[in-house]
């Protein structure tokens, strides 16, 4: 500024001196003419630089600041430096903002930024997925018009956001979302969303499991308790009645024992590390044992057969596989009426090995098949309990097979019979026993 004033003063002094010189040496007219020419030149000089400035202002790029003379050189240089500093800090700010946006986009949780009127300012991709919003269409719209659930409206009105809200969406897929508002910046709000579908499912399974176990134990406990109460109310224990009650109490206690044993097996399978892969499972011994067990359970009521086209064994855990195969055999016996037949088979199918148990029993309606391996799932509750079932057999089978990379195939037709097959990948084959 100072330099500008100095230079301007210098110009004016020079013009005045030149005009006075003309006045003294010539005449007042000559002085006026000289003054007019000098002022005109000075005006033209300034107008030229103003024109340069105006042209540059139309596209103000720091690198293209015009190059001027005299005081205008100083003006343009100052302009260039200011512009450069501004452009650098703008670049820095843009970079920081970009990093924040990228972090927001990459977040595993959903984030929606709301303005003071609860209109959407920004959404990240997770929030789009969780809330079914559209980044282009919905920005600028009120969130209350987009999420119509009454619980959400009540939550937004409540103005107390210390606890998250749980929302369930059924479209386009079943989704449970935990959602929380975090006010910031005095008027704005962050809406955070998290997908808790899986967690909710696990908790539901856990709740159902506890309810099922309690229910399964309550019936036999009530029966045994009832008998004991009746006996204790009797002034003298009637020997005949006692003998009548005893088998029924034993039956109920056996039921509880089987249930607890199955529960322990399941918990062991869930909590122990992956199945032993280095153990040799001798399938000849296994099949012999299973045949003896099937005949023992059947007590001559069924025809039990064994088919095999291979003497090969398996890599895995004998104990776990025996528990899984034993459950399939026991089911075949329990769900096949007297006179039916049960066939155990062990087959090498080239790229896979198959252990199967077929029966000519009651069969299973098609709609039940996908759910059979769920804990406590039964087609006919009464029949299962009546035959000593716990409802956990196929759940155990599923666990054991998963630990052996095997799969369960179920084919069944009501009143015709069922075939439960365990299919092992070829890598599980162990030939060392076949000698």
For residues 143 and 392, which CB has a smaller minimum distance to ligand ADP in the complex? 392
Told to check if 224 binds ligand ADP by CB under 6 A, we report: no
Q: Give how many residues touch ligand ADP by CB under 6 A.
A: 23
- In the complex with ligand ADP, the residue whose CB is nearer, 68 or 389, is 389
Cβ proximity to ligand ADP: between 140 and 339 the closer is 339
Q: How far apart are CA 425 and CA 402, in angstroms?
A: 12
Give the C-alpha separation, 377 to 398, whole Å.
13
CB of 144 to ligand ADP, least distance (A): 48
In the complex, the smallest distance separating the C-beta of residue 367 from ligand ADP, rounded to whole angstroms, is 12
Q: What is the DSSP letter of 371?
A: G
Exactly one of 394, 400, 401, 422 binds ligand ADP (CB under 6 A); that residue is 394
When asked if residue 418 is in the footprint of ligand ADP (CB under 6 A), the reply is yes
Q: Which of residues 312-331 bind ligand ADP (CB under 6 A)?
A: 327, 331
Which x/- pattern over 361-390 shows residues binding ligand ADP (rule: CB under 6 A)?
A: xxxx-------x----xxxx---x----xx
Q: How far is the CB of 320 from ligand ADP (least distance, A)?
A: 16
Answer yes or no whether residue 332 interacts with ligand ADP by CB under 6 A: yes
Regarding 22 and contact with ligand ADP (CB under 6 A), the answer is no
Query: At closest approach, how far in Å is the CB of 411 from ligand ADP?
Result: 11
Q: For residues 328-345, b (16+ Cβ closer than 10 Å) or e, as one string?
A: bbbbbbbbbeeebebbbb
- Asked if 373 contacts 324 with a C-beta cutoff of 8 angstroms, the reply is no
User: CA–CA separation, 149 vs 344, rounded Å?
Assistant: 55
Residues 72, 325, 335, 355: which binds ligand ADP (CB under 6 A)? 335
Distance CA 86, CA 93 (A): 10
CB of 262 to ligand ADP, least distance (A): 8
Helices marked H in 234-317 — which ranges? Answer: 239-271, 283-298
Tell me the sheet residues that pair with 420: 357, 410
Q: Is the bond leading into 111 cis (omega within 30 degrees of zero)?
A: no
DSSP string, 46-77: HHHHHHHHHHHHHS--GGGPPP--HHHHHHHH
Of the two residues 68 and 417, which places its CB atom closer to ligand ADP in the complex?
Answer: 417
List contacts with ligand ADP (CB under 6 A): 327, 331-332, 335, 359, 361-364, 372, 377-380, 384, 389-395, 418
């Amino acid at each position: 500024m100072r330099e500008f004033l100095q230079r301007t003063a210098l110009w004016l002094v020079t013009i005045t001196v030149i005009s006075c010189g003309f006045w003294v040496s010539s005449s007042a007219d000559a002085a006026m003419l000289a003054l007019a020419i000098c002022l005109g030149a000075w005006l033209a000089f300034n107008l030229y630089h103003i024109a340069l400035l105006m042209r540059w202002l139309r596209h103000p790029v720091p690198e293209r600041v015009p190059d001027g003379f005299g005081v205008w050189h100083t003006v343009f240089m100052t302009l260039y430096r200011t512009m450069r500093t501004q452009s650098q800090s703008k670049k820095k700010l843009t970079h920081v903002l970009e990093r924040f946006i990228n972090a927001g986009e990459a977040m595993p949780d959903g984030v929606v930024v709301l303005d003071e009127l609860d209109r959407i300012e920004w959404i990240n991709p997770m929030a789009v997925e969780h809330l079914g919003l559209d980044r282009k269409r919905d920005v600028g719209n009120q969130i209350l018009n987009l999420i119509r659930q009454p619980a959400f409206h009540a939550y937004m009105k409540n103005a107390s956001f210390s606890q998250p809200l749980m929302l369930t969406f059924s479209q386009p897929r079943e989704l449970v979302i935990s959602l929380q508002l975090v006010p910031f910046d005095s008027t704005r709000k962050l809406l955070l969303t998290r997908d808790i579908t899986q967690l909710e499912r696990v908790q539901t399974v856990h709740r159902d499991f506890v309810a099922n176990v309690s229910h399964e134990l309550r019936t036999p406990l009530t029966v045994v308790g009832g008998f004991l109460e009746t006996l204790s109310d009797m002034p003298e224990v009637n020997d005949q009645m006692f003998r009548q009650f005893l088998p029924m109490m034993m039956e109920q206690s056996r039921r509880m024992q089987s249930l607890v044993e199955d529960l322990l097996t399941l918990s062991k399978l869930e909590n122990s590390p992956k199945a032993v892969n280095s153990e040799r499972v001798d399938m000849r011994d296994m099949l012999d044992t299973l045949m003896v067990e099937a005949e023992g359970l059947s007590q001559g009521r069924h025809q039990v057969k064994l088919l095999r086209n291979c003497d090969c064994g398996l890599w895995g855990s004998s104990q776990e596989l025996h528990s899984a195969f034993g459950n399939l055999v026991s089911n075949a016996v329990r769900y096949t009426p007297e006179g039916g037949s049960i066939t155990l088979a062990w087959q090498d199918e080239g790229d896979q090995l198959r252990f199967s148990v077929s029966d000519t029993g009651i069969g299973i309606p098609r709609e039940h098949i996908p759910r059979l391996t769920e804990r406590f799932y039964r087609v006919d509750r009464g029949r299962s309990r009546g035959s000593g079932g716990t409802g956990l057999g196929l759940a155990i089978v599923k666990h054991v097979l998963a630990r052996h990379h095997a799969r369960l195939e179920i084919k069944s037709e009501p009143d015709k019979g069922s075939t439960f097959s365990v299919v092992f990948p070829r890598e599980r084959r162990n030939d060392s026993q076949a000698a």
